[in-house]
A and B are shown apart, each in its own frame.
Chain A
């Protein structure tokens, strides 16, 4: 399909999210769309998919102008989309989500569950994205939800596939698998519009690259002409430090201690088993692992979103195993949840309100039970500029922010108080290179100020760059704690449960899980 966007303009009140955007995608082309957080990429894609309506401009498919009143019409024109914020129904199973709208049925519209499950299993093995067709979506880690969202789009055999940050929470292997699929789709003549913030990915998969800034197209290039540095500069408008430089850690006394911690998932299956981990003040432990190996549940248990089945959790020696989230916050715990929309933000509340959710009832934001709104607003405005959150003002609902800017709000809230322990899951999910640089620096600053930091990330580069030690989880156990210097290969093998576990780094007294998974 040949797609032409001609002069697309989309306003939200005074804000011009898309300003006369022109874009052409040829048949058999993987077209990458790059741009800062809030540049207008998702807005443009939503206009194209019929979720939003352009104020002006024209969409042409194979030369014919089209207008889509709703996404259904876009689907009927052969457009498929993977949404940045998944369009999955939480209380449905994976299979139900994948087949919705295209359900296999028997007579009288009777659902054919067996066929639905078989179909999902077939897709899942064909595309190398493992999912359990019977699992409830809301119980799945975001990485797995991402796979579901991708499978859903792929089964429709769209002629134009829009992928809005599909790789934000995928592991490198899954990303590779997705790229293989994309390339083979391209070779069969389909068009793909691909949005990502990861410049390496752009360079490896794109045929053409279009860069947006502040709602406008600011340039177009190809992987042959560009490199990471030039792309970053083009996007952000300044030079960006792509690799974080940090001083060696100087760990002090232990702050976060997990002793024989076990955690169960919604179905009562033990997904974290006998984990022992000690994180000291002033060090970052990065937790690596393929999604679904218990990292999510471990993080949730630490911050109090999930009960601990057995074992003990201590912060500065105090037993917080059964403490409420509020008590944990008071004890100095901060968290960046992996699903910002479900666990990190109240989307209908303003940015400023979201920024003080952890201290709305304490001075200066409340006195004698009465909130001080002007203090909140002033604080909100400051945070906006400090964390470079792109929004009209701090008073707009958090739900209207671009994905990356929502992430920044969560990070801003959690890093703005005095933290003793920071548990951050996918802390830079969906952030642009400039923002990643900033958030990484803030995390390292928190470490240097004496926080014990636990990072959970599917991004191996992030794990190796940030971690002073790297703990690898496999099937619910920590199978080894290594120095990041051992390199990608070794850590990758350990994540697969296959590698030989190197001895723990000598400087720190790491505690290994009792079972060593091999």
Chain B
């Protein structure tokens, strides 16, 4: 009897699946997709009524599409009523598509398109009767998103190797503080940012040391680091900066316009006329993605995060890999911290990370522990902060504490409502015990 184990009923040839696809996948249920569709229909109602019919006809919103040095683009004048109703119809159609579709593939993309329509309509409504600089709104979105991108990359690095980094918030604060101090003292932003990174890495090392060496609980150590960093920076702020304000007035990274690219209308000023710290985030984003999914290093890191024992049986040193990643992750979060001070704003202020370290973690989870996945959530959050500050300027009568809450609410809604069933790395948060 010569029964070969031949011709299994398998799908597409193996060649078609690559190293990337083997990473954690997203599962979307039909029900959730329907829910998204219904949600879009509700949004469409809001767009059609309060944003649309409720606004007297003849009122327009003007979007400025130019910032001073770049190429001039004519303003976009939009009759509020007509545009909102048009967008409402489009949004409703997208909702219907989601409800009616058989396949769930690409549902998130379709849904995101629907929410963009809503945001547009919201902007038109907010800007009714005045003008709104759309380009600088987007450019600020990018700036506000930057620390969150660094933070979520830090989370990806740590958790892909199996260590939960709840200390991002603390690493932000440490990085922001030291970057400001050093840059003020030396007048060198680069050196400041470097020291900020080092401060983050140091806190990364503490996390690694306590959890990997002594098997301490990762969450608890992380929270302690957050609390410690907050207390320490507040203390030093009092002790040093109040008496020596000159030590807390660092130079900041100047915008560097990239030749040619920065000339592209709208996109140019938004993406290609930013500071080195923003470009750095982009570079790290691509770099970490490729390293994680295309290199030997990445394969081993993911192996350690998924199944450390299996990794150790092929000779991978689990603890060293984790040390490396947690310290590297701390370093990245430290740069993110520097972005708060020398990146844009300059001064260090008390608790200036304001929970964004946790938002970054949420972004990372939303992004399924993948670098580019977290980008979407980071941008959304950056957009809501930037929007809130714009609305503040426009003087819409919404109580300001409520406004300040909005970005966090949006994050909760997105993360809780949209994330669905995500699967963390198999050994995420599980200490590795060798016997």
Asked whether B313 is an interface residue with its Cβ less than 8 Å from the other chain, the reply is yes
Per-position contact with A for B21-58: 1 when CB-CB < 8 Å, else 0? 01110000000000000000000000000000000000
Give residues of chain A (146-172) contacting chain B, Cβ–Cβ below 8 Å: 147, 152, 171
Decide if B310 is an interface residue (CB 8 Å cutoff).
Answer: yes
For the complex formed, measure the closest distance between the CB of A52 and the CB atoms of chain B, giving whole angstroms.
6
Interface segment, B2-10, B91-99, B130-138, B239-247? B2-10
Chain A, residues 261-287, CB within 8 Å of chain B (1/0): the string is 000010111010000000000000000
**Given A70-B434, A111-B299, A136-B22, CB of A81 within 8 Å of CB of B10:** no
Partner of A96, one of B12, B22, B312: B22
Given contacts A90-B307, A101-B316, A132-B10, 6 further A-B contacts (CB under 8 A): A51-B313, A71-B314, A72-B315, A91-B23, A129-B5, A498-B3
| CB-defined A-B contacts under 8 Å, sample of 18 | A70-B312, A70-B317, A72-B312, A76-B315, A89-B306, A91-B302, A92-B22, A93-B17, A100-B303, A100-B311, A100-B314, A110-B294, A113-B18, A134-B15, A136-B17, A144-B8, A496-B1, A496-B2
Which residues on A sit within 8 Å (CB–CB) of B23? 91
Q: Determine the chain A residues whose CB is within 8 A of the CB of B24 once the complex forms.
A: 91
Q: Give the residues in chain B near A268, CB-CB below 8 Å.
A: 11
Q: Are A492 and B3 in contact (CB under 8 A)?
A: yes
Given A87-B310, A132-B8, A267-B12, CB of A171 within 8 Å of CB of B296: no
Which A residues touch B311, using CB under 8 A?
89, 100-101
Residues from chain B with a CB closer than 8 A to the CB of A56 are: none
Q: A103-B299, A134-B17 are in contact. Are A89 and B3 (CB under 8 A)?
A: no
Task: Chain A residues near B315: list those with CB within 8 A.
Answer: 71-72, 75-76, 101
Q: Looking at the complex, which of A288-296, A370-378, A446-454 is the stretch in contact with chain B?
A: A288-296
A53 to B1, CA, bound (A): 45
Identify which of B1, B10, B13, B314 contacts A489 (C-beta below 8 A): B1
Q: Is the CB of B306 within 8 A of A475?
A: no
Given the known interface contacts A71-B315, A72-B317, A492-B3, the answer about A88 and B310 at a Cβ–Cβ threshold of 8 Å is yes
Q: Is the CB of A174 within 8 A of B17?
A: no
* A-B complex: 5 closest residue pairs judged by Cβ atoms: A134-B14, A101-B314, A72-B315, A134-B17, A87-B310
The answer to the question of B19 belonging to the interface, with a C-beta cut-off of 8 Å to chain A, is: yes
Inter-chain contacts of A88 with B (CB < 8 A): 307, 310
Q: What are the interface flags for A479-518 relative to B under an 8 Å C-beta threshold, 1 for contact and 0 otherwise?
A: 0000000001100110110100000000000000000000
- Known contacts: A171-B3, A496-B4. The answer to whether A108 contacts B295 by CB under 8 A is yes
Residue B435 CB within 8 A of the other chain: yes
Bound together, the chains give a CA A110 to CA B291 distance in angstroms of 8
Determine whether the beta carbon of A89 is less than 8 Å from that of B14: no
From 102 to 160 in chain A, residues with beta carbon under 8 angstroms from any chain B beta carbon are 102-103, 105, 108-111, 113, 117, 128-130, 132-136, 144, 147, 152
* A83 interface contact, C-beta 8 A: yes
Q: Are B313 and A87 in contact, CB atoms less than 8 angstroms apart?
A: yes
User: Are B297 and A476 touching (Cβ within 8 A)?
Assistant: no
Question: Given the complex of chains A and B, what is the CA–CA distance between A476 and B211 in angstroms?
Answer: 48
Dominant secondary structure at the B interface: loop
**Quick check: is B309 within 8 A (CB to CB) of the other chain?**
yes
By a CB distance below 8 angstroms, the chain B residues around A105 are: 295-296
CB pair A135–B17 under 8 Å, yes or no, is yes
In the complex, which residues of chain B have a beta carbon less than 8 angstroms from the beta carbon of A360?
none
In angstroms, how far is the closest chain A Cβ from the Cβ of B382?
30
Which positions in A face B, CB cutoff 8 Å?
49, 51-53, 70-72, 75-76, 81, 83, 87-96, 100-103, 105, 108-111, 113, 117, 128-130, 132-136, 144, 147, 152, 171, 173-174, 265, 267-269, 271, 290-294, 475-476, 488-489, 492-493, 495-496, 498
The answer, yes or no, to whether B370 is at the interface (CB within 8 Å) is: no
In the complex, B187 has a CB within 8 A of chain A: no
Residues of chain A with a CB closer than 8 A to B314's CB: 71-72, 75, 87, 100-102, 152
Which of B1, B17, B295 has the most C-beta atoms of chain A within 10 angstroms of its own C-beta?
A: B1
- Chain B residue nearest to A81 in the complex (CB): B313
Given contacts A70-B312, A70-B434, A476-B9, contact A100 B17 (CB under 8 A): no
Contact partner of A293 (CB less than 8 A), chosen from B8, B11, B17, is B8
B25 to A, closest residue via Cβ: A91
Assembly CA distance A451 to B14 (angstroms): 41
B16 close to chain A: CB less than 8 A:
yes
- Inter-chain CA distance A95–B17, complex, in Å, is 10
Chain B residues positioned under 8 Å from A493 (CB to CB): 1, 3
A132 & B14 in contact (Cβ 8 Å cutoff): yes
Given contacts A75-B315, A269-B9, A294-B9, whether A110 and B14 have CB atoms under 8 Å apart is no
Q: Are B14 and A488 in contact (CB under 8 A)?
A: no
Considering the complex, give the chain B residue whose CB is closest to the CB of A495.
B3
Q: Is the CB of B18 within 8 A of A89?
A: no
In the bound complex, residues from chain B placing their C-beta under 8 Å from that of A293 are 8-9
- The listed residue (A53, A87, A110, A290) touching B3 by CB distance below 8 A is A290
